[in-house]
Amino acid sequence: MQSIRRVAVIGGNRIPFARSNSRYASASNADMLGAALDGLVARYGLAGQRVGEVVAGAVLKHSRDFNLTREVVLGSRLDPHTPAYDIQQACGTGLEAAILVANKIALGQIDVGIAGGVDTTSDAPLAVNEDLRRTLIKLNSARTLGERLKVAAKLRPLQPFKPEIPRNAEPRTGLSMGDHAARTALTWNIDRRSQDELALRSHQRLAAAYDRGFFDDLMTPYLGLTRDQNLRPDTSLEKLGSLKPVFGTRGADADQATMTAGNSSPLTDGASTVLLATEEWAREHNLPVLAWFSWSETAAVDFVHGDEGLLMAPAYAVPRMLARAGLTLQDFDYYEIHEAFASQVLATLAAWESPEFCKDRLGLDAPLGAIDRDRLNVNGSSLAAGHPFAATGGRIVATLAKLLAEKGGGRGLISICAAGGQGVTAILER
Ligand SMILES: CC(=O)CC(=O)SCCNC(=O)CCNC(=O)[C@H](O)C(C)(C)COP(=O)(O)OP(=O)(O)OC[C@H]1O[C@@H](n2cnc3c(N)ncnc32)[C@H](O)[C@@H]1OP(=O)(O)O
C-alpha cells in the first residue's frame, strides 16, 4: 500500500476578473482559462513539461467544449501528453478541482498537477428551444430529401428564434441564488447595515492588497485589465446604503429585502489556476512551498424538501472537517469564506454561533462559536473581486497559500457555498 504524501501549494495565477459584458465580452472560456494557464506555465517554468493532470471546469459551458480543459492544455505550452479533464460542482468547481488534484498527489498517483476554473456570463451558452433542437436532430439524421422535407415542414415560422437562456437559478425551485439567499437572510435576521459593512471591508481590503503588490505574482494582466474591474476603492457605507434591494423583493416579505447590487457578488468573467505538487517535486524544481493542502470536506443540504438554506452547506461541511482534523473553529489564522452574498457569509457565521443550530442540526454539545472578524477575508473576497463561478476556488487557494507564506506559518480555512445546496471546504497549513 502507498503512504499518504504531503501536498504542497506552489502558487497560482489568475487573470483580473471583469464585469459581465464588459472587458472580456469577446473572450471565451477557453481564451480566459488559456491565459490563466499560460501565466502559470511561464511563472513556474513548466513549458514543455508533462504535468500529472490538469483538472478544471466551468459552470456555464458551450456544448462544443466537451473537454474544455484538455483543449486548453493542447493550446498551451505544456507537453501535449499531459492528461486533462473537466469537472463541475457549481461555485465549488475550482476548489473541488484542487481537492481532486491534491488527493491524487497524496495517494502517489501523480507528483504534480494543476487545478483551475473559468466562467463567463458574457459568452453564455444560449441553446435553441427544445422543440427546435429535437427537430434539428431529426433533420440531421434524415436519410433522403423526402424525409428531410417532411421533418422541415414541422418547423413553425417563429419557433427558431426563441432561445433557451441559462438562468442563475435553481432548477428545482426556479428561484435565483439571490432570492434563496434573501430567504436565508430573513431566517437569520441579517440586517442591511452588517451586509453593507462586510461589502465595504471587502473593497477596502482588496484595494489595499493590490496597493501593496500582493497580487503581483498571482496574476497576469489580460485584455487591458491589471486589477479586478469590479473593485470600487471609493465606495462607502453611504453609497452602499443608497442602493435599492434587488433580491427578495417579491412576496409577503418584500418590505424586509436587504440584498443589493453592492452587497451581492456581481456577474463576472474570469479564470484562475493553481499549481500543486509533492514536496520532492517542489525541491527538484527549486520552487518554494507556499502552504500545505491538508484537509477538505464537502456537504449538501436539502433545500428542496427541508428548510435548510440553499447556500448553507458550508455550515455543515466545516464542523465535519474540524472534527476529522481535531481542530476548533478558532484554530485558524485566516478564514476565506467566499462572498457569494454578504448575507450568506453572515448567516453562516451566525449558524456557527447559534447553540440551537449547532445542537439540532450539527449534533454538537456546544456552538462552534465566533471567529475573529479581523481574520476573515483579509485581502477582500468575491464582493469586491467579483465571482466568475468556477474561478473563485483557485483565486482563494492561491490567495490563502500566499498569505500563510507571508506570515511564515499558520492555518487557513476555506469555505465555498455552491448552487444545488452544496458546500466545498478545505484547510491550508504552513
Ligand atoms: C453559483 C453558486 O454555485 C454559488 C454562488 O456563489 S451564489 C452567487 C452567484 N452569483 C450571483 O447570483 C450573482 C448575483 N448578482 C447579480 O445577479 C447582479 O450582479 C445584480 C442583480 C446583483 C446587480 O446587477 P446590475 O444591476 O447589473 O448591477 P450594476 O449595474 O453593476 O449595479 C447596480 C447599481 O449599483 C451600483 N453599485 C454596485 N455595487 C456598488 C458598490 N459596491 N458601491 C456603490 N455602488 C455600487 C452601481 O454603480 C449601479 O448604480 P447605477 O444604477 O447608478 O449605475
- Ligand 1, pocket-test mutation among 231, 249, 339, 387, most atoms within 8 A of CB: 387
Which pTM does this prediction carry? 0.95
Determine, yes or no, domain membership for 206: yes
CB 395, CB 94: distance < 8 Å: yes
Distance from residue 246's CA to the centre of ligand 1 (Å) = 9
Range of the domain at 422: 177-213+294-429
Could you tell me if residue 224 is inside a domain? no
Question: What is the complex's ipTM, to 2 decimals?
Answer: 0.97
List the catalytic residue out of 91, 180, 203, 358. 91
Find the CATH number of the domain harbouring 353: 3.40.47.10
Report how far ligand 1's centroid is from the alpha carbon of 80 (Å). 40
- Report yes or no on 77 lying in a domain: no
By DSSP bridging, strand 291-300 and strand 259-260 are unpaired
Render the burial of 71-94: b for 16+ CB within 10 Å, e for the rest: bbbeebebeeebebbbbbbbbbbb
Specify if 355 maps to a domain: yes
91 classed as catalytic: yes
What is the model's pLDDT at position 158?
Answer: 60
Q: Is the dihedral of CA 367, 373, 376, 381 positive or negative?
A: positive
Atom of ligand 1 at shortest range from CA of 90:
3
3-state secondary structure 127-170: EECHHHHHHHHHHHHCCCHHHHHHHHCCCCCCHHHCEECCCCEC
The answer to whether the beta carbons of residues 207 and 233 sit under 8 Å apart is yes
Residue 387 bears catalytic tag: yes
The CA 177 to ligand 1 mean position distance, Å, reads 13
Centroid of ligand 1 to alpha carbon of 225 (angstroms):
20
Q: Say what the pLDDT of residue 161 is.
A: 66
Tell me whether residue 199 is in a domain: yes
Domain total for the chain? 1
Ligand 1 centre distance from Cα of residue 56 (Å):
26
Nearest CA to ligand 1 atom 21: 261
Is residue 416, in this structure, part of any structural domain at all?
Answer: yes
Cα(259) to centroid of ligand 1, in Å? 10
Low-confidence ranges of the chain (pLDDT < 50): none
Catalytic residue, candidates 180, 203, 338, 387: 387
pLDDT at 121: 92
The closest-lying atom of ligand 1 relative to the alpha carbon of residue 264 is 22
Instruction: Specify the pLDDT at position 197.
Output: 98
Residue 415 maps to a domain: yes
Active site residue 81: no
* Closest C-alpha residue for ligand 1 atom 25: 261
Residue 391 lies in a domain: yes
Residues having CB within 6 Å of any atom of ligand 1: 90-91, 168, 177-178, 199, 232, 235, 239-240, 243, 246, 261-262, 264-267, 340, 387, 389, 417-419
